[in-house]
């Protein structure tokens, strides 16, 4: 039996958008059907590229088309609607920055190199800001290693509503990450233009609502991914995380250089893994595992504040691994992050646009 466009469209009428609960055909999401003998290529237009239900929709389309008599090969191509198409469907077009229009400050957390504790600082800073009464969100823009959901103990996927994604919430902090869109352990290959597009979706189509602070965990280092993200986000300031040793410090110089070129205000430096308090020892009984003075030297050289010196503490690591950041409780160990959060609030208040 010859396969026709009509039989394919009939089959697709039975496939619903799981969120909108209407047929893909009725929603105008079937953009194209190409038939060549027993092979069919269907192009589906998602409401927006980062749609978390993408995989499910693709699978459903594939199954429905495969079930049509005479079809042996199916290819499903996913594209995204233009803002006009979306406007037609939803009655209005979310503007590019719609999602963050009520966000007062977007602050990025950067590092000169990987593994210095950038995500740990982002998470604990965000939770501490919330603890100090500030409405806070965290955007995991570390596309290649999105760890924020693990550190925040988040497993759910965000839901959509009226063309916007609703961020997840934990410890009172709103959270959005590429990891929560793709699912844990699912690799995503992010290249420049895709990163740019995804960032726009995170800012424009995530309903952040009223936030005092949106903390953005940047990719490590000063490579393409970091540059693309910093160029795509209207940043109010950046915090640079380093460790005290010489190599880390020289990488941070590069990062500071990058932000200065981009004219992004540097709120200050956080020196992480600064020292280890000896168990059972006195307050002064500390070990400088990675050397000392790196953060101070940088702060002096660039005339930017050293916002915090965070010790190496197993509790900090356990907090990250277990999804219960230490700043969720205010105590002796987490106080260093509350002091950091307070300084960030103060630094922001001195900014000219305040």
Q: Check residue 328 for interaction with ligand ATP (CB under 6 A).
A: no
Was 172 annotated as part of a binding site?
Answer: no
Q: Is the Cα dihedral 60, 80, 136, 319 positive or negative?
A: positive
* 221 annotated ligand binder: no
**Contact window for ligand ATP (CB under 6 A) among 18-26, 54-62, 282-290, 313-321:** 313-321
CA-closest candidate to residue 229, choices 108, 100, 105:
108
Q: Is 192 annotated as a binding residue?
A: no
Residues touching ligand ATP: how many (CB under 6 A)? Answer: 20
244 binds ligand ATP (CB under 6 A): no
Task: Scan residues 135-164 and list those touching ligand ATP (CB under 6 A).
Answer: 142, 145, 147
Nearer to ligand ATP by Cβ, of 81 and 152: the residue is: 152
- Using left for φ > 0, alpha for ψ between -120 and 50, and beta otherwise, residue 323 falls in left
Q: Does 312 bind ligand ATP (CB under 6 A)?
A: yes
Long-range contacts of range 328-335, CB-CB < 8 Å, 24 or more positions apart? 328/127, 328/131, 328/171, 330/131, 334/124, 334/128
Nearer to ligand ATP, 135 or 242 (CB): 242
**Sole binder of ligand ATP in the list 19, 209, 313, 324 (CB under 6 A):** 313
Q: Which tokens in the block code for residue 146?
A: 């999105």
Give phi and psi for 30, each to the nearest 5.
-90, 105
Tokens encoding 31:
């953009």
DSSP state of 46: E
Shortest Å distance, C-beta 241 to ligand ATP: 7
Compare residues 64 and 123 and give the one whose CB is closer to ligand ATP: 123
Please, which residues bridge with residue 76 across strands?
42
Burial of 263 (0-12, 13-18, 19+ CB in 10 A): exposed
Stretch that binds ligand ATP, among 47-55, 117-125, 226-234, 337-345 (CB under 6 A): 117-125
Member of 15, 206, 310, 348 binding ligand ATP (CB under 6 A): 310
* Buried residues in 157-169 as b, exposed as e (16+ CB within 10 A): bbebeebbbbbbe
Q: Which is nearer to ligand ATP, 135 or 334 (CB)?
A: 334
Residue set of the binding site for ATP: 112-119
Summarize as ranges the residues that interact with ligand ATP (CB under 6 A).
111, 114-120, 142, 145, 147, 220, 272-273, 310, 312-313, 316-317, 320
């Amino acid at each position: 039996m010859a396969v026709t466009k009509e039989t394919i469209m009939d089959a697709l009428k039975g496939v619903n958008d799981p969120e909108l609960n209407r047929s893909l055909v009725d929603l105008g999401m079937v953009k194209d059907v190409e038939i060549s003998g027993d092979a069919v290529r269907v192009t589906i237009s998602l409401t927006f590229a980062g749609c978390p239900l993408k995989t499910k929709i693709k699978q459903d389309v594939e199954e429905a088309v495969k079930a049509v008599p005479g079809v042996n090969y199916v290819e499903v191509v996913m594209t995204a609607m233009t803002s006009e198409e979306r406007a037609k469907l939803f009655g209005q077009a979310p503007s590019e920055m719609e999602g963050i229009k009520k966000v007062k400050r977007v602050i990025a957390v950067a590092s000169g190199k990987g593994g210095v504790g950038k995500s740990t600082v982002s998470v604990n800073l965000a939770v501490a800001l919330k603890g100090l009464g500030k409405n806070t969100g965290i955007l995991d823009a570390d596309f290649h290693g999105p760890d924020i959901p693990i550190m925040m103990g988040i497993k759910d996927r965000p839901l959509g509503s009226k063309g916007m994604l609703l961020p997840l919430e934990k410890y009172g902090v709103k959270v959005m990450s590429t990891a929560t869109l793709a699912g844990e352990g699912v690799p995503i290959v992010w290249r420049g233009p895709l990163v740019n597009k995804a960032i726009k979706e995170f800012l424009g189509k995530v309903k952040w609502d009223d936030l005092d602070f949106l903390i953005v965990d940047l990719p490590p280092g000063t490579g393409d991914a970091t540059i693309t993200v910093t160029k795509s986000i209207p940043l109010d300031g950046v915090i640079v995380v380093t460790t005290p040793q010489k190599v880390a410090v020289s990488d941070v110089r590069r990062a500071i250089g990058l932000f200065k070129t981009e004219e992004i205000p540097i709120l200050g430096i956080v020196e992480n893994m600064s020292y280890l308090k000896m168990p059972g020892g006195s307050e002064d009984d500390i070990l400088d595992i990675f050397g000392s003075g790196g953060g101070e030297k940088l702060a002096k050289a660039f005339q930017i504040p050293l916002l915090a010196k965070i010790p190496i503490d197993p509790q900090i690591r356990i907090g990250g691994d277990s999804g219960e950041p230490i700043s969720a409780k205010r105590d002796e160990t987490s106080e260093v992050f509350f002091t950091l959060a307070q300084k960030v609030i103060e630094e922001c208040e001195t900014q000219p646009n305040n």
